[in-house]
Copies of this chain bind each other. A is one copy, B any other.
């Protein structure tokens, strides 16, 4: 299963190992990591070689399939699976992917775990295509096409393929509804500049890169018709945890009367998390902010606050698009209860 873009899937199972499109070396070099150990997988997750909530779900599921092929006893499989699920605390999809493959393993062994992981990966691409289709309805109609702003990378690379937020952009571009993408560079790790910009070029979608703090003035100049982002976790009340900077965009979008759209598969919705206040926010190393790559840009001992995510309250979110349709946060919350 591929997403039709010509790009290799971000997460694939290749002869007993997990092949990841290494997101750390983009856009300079396209390299692949063949993962054969749990330690290697946890390193890849922690160092963001694989990232993005849906891609992490697939990586977690394939991780359990790999563990099941290596360990004979159920206790080891379970504890290794837990190691994988804990590698990043905020992305609920990672644990979800692990849980699905682990349940399949406990019912039917290693073959069942692998089959579940394969199905999860294929279903991810299908869900993202559905998100793209449902998203068409929320793109503001504008002569010549809408100008859409996005943050971080919720594209092909953040998923097994096709993308969530960028899935809507792709579907909208193909339908003539989207003309242009503004890409926030997304400090500190520059997923927008490195990954989303690269994807837009690979897909032939006109795009302009801006620094994160320029989003507001581009909105004020009337250049942005819609903001669309992914999500790392959506609480039961519709609060959205996503890459740091998402919350600022939501406030800016509200102020400028620009629709603020979240695109995510239902696996991102965590019914067990009542609201954003219950979401653990990962703090990442200060060196990510004290420099870029290996270059230091701030005084060595400078104190840093580096939360990886922020929480956007449901009342700032116009629409949440999932594979089941486009919902207001309230409608999505009711959907969970019913």
Contact = CB atoms under 8 A, between A and B. Distances in A.
A286 B305 CA distance: 28
A289 interface: yes
B208 A305 contact: yes
Interface string A68-90: 00000000000000000000000
A61 interface: no
Interface string A290-305: 1011111111011111
A193 interface: yes
Given A209-B289, A252-B251, A303-B207, A298 B185 contact: yes
Contacts of A249: 213
Interface in A148-201: 151, 182, 184-188, 190, 193-194, 197-198, 201
A36 interface: no
A244 interface: yes
Interface residues of A, number: 58
A50 B217 CA distance: 25
A272 B116 CA distance: 69
Nearest to A27: B299
B209 A187 contact: no
A274 interface: no
A273 interface: no
Contact of A304 (B210, B301, B311): B210
A310 interface: yes
B298 A194 contact: yes
A215 interface: yes
A289 B247 contact: no
Given A214-B307, A290-B193, A310-B216, A209 B27 contact: no
Interface of A: 27-28, 151, 182, 184-188, 190, 193-194, 197-198, 201, 206-218, 220, 244-245, 247-249, 251-252, 254-255, 286, 289-290, 292-299, 301-307, 310-311
Given A185-B289, A208-B304, 12 more contacts: A187-B187, A188-B211, A193-B289, A207-B303, A209-B298, A210-B289, A213-B244, A214-B305, A216-B247, A251-B251, A252-B252, A293-B295
